């Protein structure tokens, strides 16, 4: 499997979005799209509802799900789901059950501290790859760089 490439500008756009949501104490979620085999060069932010009751959570609305479908009608695919957590970056049980991406090699990026972690780049985030039916954590370093790189 060749590494996935994500445009640095996409991560910057995500950082700005997550920090804005975080300034209200809210998580956010988005998808990184691009051509199959190409660079993830577009951030798609669907309509979503975030809540702080009983901990933080964010949910894509029915309208947002339609937006996600419409955004890839040009033949592109979603390379990754990217979302923020209020504290440390990790895959929660909810994240593990997330059915948005189900293909082998799909990526899930968790940004810590309401998006502030992206100020330090992808290395400050938790990155997971879907292998079989499980999300597998990729540690910072050579093995992660083989799966995903920022360009």
Q: Which pTM was predicted?
A: 0.93
Average pLDDT in the chain? 90
Q: Which residue has the higher pLDDT, 106 or 53?
A: 106
Residue 135, pLDDT above cutoff 80: yes
- Residue range 106-133: average pLDDT? 92
- 146: enclosing H helix or E strand: helix 142-147
Position 65 scores a pLDDT of 94
Any idea which architecture 4-150 has in CATH? Answer: 3-Layer(aba) Sandwich (3.40)
How far, CA to CA in Å, does 48 sit from each of 27, 120, 129, 145?
A: 10, 26, 24, 31
Across the range 7-21, mean pLDDT stands at: 95
6 within 8 A of 144, measured Cβ to Cβ = no
Domains of the chain, by residue range, sit at 4-150
Checking if the pLDDT of 92 tops 70, the result is yes
Helices (H), 62-107: 62-70, 93-96
Residue 33 is predicted with a pLDDT of 95
Nearest to 106 by CA among 85, 84, 132, 126: 132
Q: Is the pLDDT of residue 1 over 60?
A: no
């Amino acid at each position: 499997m060749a590494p996935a490439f994500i445009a640095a500008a996409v991560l910057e756009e995500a950082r700005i979005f997550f920090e804005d949501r975080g300034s209200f104490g809210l998580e956010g979620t988005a998808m990184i799209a691009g051509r199959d085999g190409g660079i993830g060069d577009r951030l798609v932010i669907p309509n979503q509802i975030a809540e702080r009751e009983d901990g933080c959570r964010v949910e894509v609305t029915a309208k947002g799900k339609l937006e996600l479908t419409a955004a890839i009608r040009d033949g592109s695919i979603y390379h990754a789901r990217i979302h923020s957590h209020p504290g440390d970056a990790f895959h929660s049980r909810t994240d593990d059950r997330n059915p948005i991406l189900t293909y082998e090699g799909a990526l899930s990026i968790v940004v810590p501290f309401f998006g502030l972690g992206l100020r330090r780049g992808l290395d400050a985030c938790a990155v997971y790859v879907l292998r079989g039916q499980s999300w597998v954590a990729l540690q910072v370093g050579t093995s992660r760089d083989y799966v995903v790189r920022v360009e």
